[in-house]
A and B are shown apart, each in its own frame.
Chain A
Amino acid sequence: QVQLEESGPGLVKPSETLSLTCSVSSGSITSDYWSWIRQPPGKGLEWIGYISYSGTTDYNPSLKSRSTISLDTSKNQFSLRLSSVTAGDTAVYFCARHTTLTLFGVASAGGMDVWGQGTTVTVSS
């Protein structure tokens, strides 16, 4: 069973770049689709973006200009960088694996069937 674990600094200063890593175990990063999602305190889920096994990315339009998701196949990890952070970026950050949806022979990301436990990131000076 695939397992995911987020890691990274729990405290980031305003205007700096938030960097998180998701380590994938019992599965390969070179298959499937992988997402980052966040949840501000007391609020709902917000999708940040995803990366495919081939390195294709898509992002939430509201965060696209500040977000970068990348794969590290040698370490079986994928990462998130979110630049120019503010207090509004304070949240629990989750990584997740997507199911694969195949329609008319074309594969795409479906829902998210495996999640990490989440890591809390606070933006504060």
Chain B
Amino acid sequence: SYDLTQPPSVSVSPGQTATITCSGDELGAKFAYWYQQKSNQSPLLIIYEDNKRPSGIPERFSGSNSANIVTLTITGTQAMDEADYYCQAWHNNALVFGGGTKLTVL
């Protein structure tokens, strides 16, 4: 099976930059997607095709894909950004999620 690996948790101070990574074999050759899930809510697509933001997603969210690691960066993190974040990719026609990263804004 194909695995995407994320750190279980990341902490950041308000106003600082948060970085969440996602690694997987040959991930650089795939498109990556990122979702934000706040407590008791449905996931929200925040980055698609590595680095594109859907309409309505703040500019402080950005994505990149290099080699086997994709990165979600939140610049000027706000308290409202505290949530679980999941990366996602396709592998052999199967959709795979990373295990999720809990972002804490201290």
Contacts and interface: CB of A to CB of B under 8 A. Distances in A.
Of B1, B35, B94, B97, which is in contact with the most chain A CB atoms at under 10 Å from its CB? B94
Nearest to B46: A111
Contact of B1 (A61, A99, A117): A61
B45 A47 contact: no
Interface residues of A, number: 24
Main secondary structure of the interface of A (DSSP, over half): strand
Main secondary structure of the interface of B (DSSP, over half): strand
Interface string B19-61: 0000000000001010101000011110011000010000000
A112 B96 contact: no
Interface residues of B, number: 24
A110 B95 contact: no
B94 A113 contact: no
Interface string B66-105: 0000000000000000001010101001111111100000
A35 B49 CA distance: 18
Contacts of A110: 31, 33, 48-49
Given A44-B99, A58-B93, A118 B42 contact: yes
Interface of A: 35, 44-47, 50, 58-62, 94, 99, 101, 108-113, 115-118
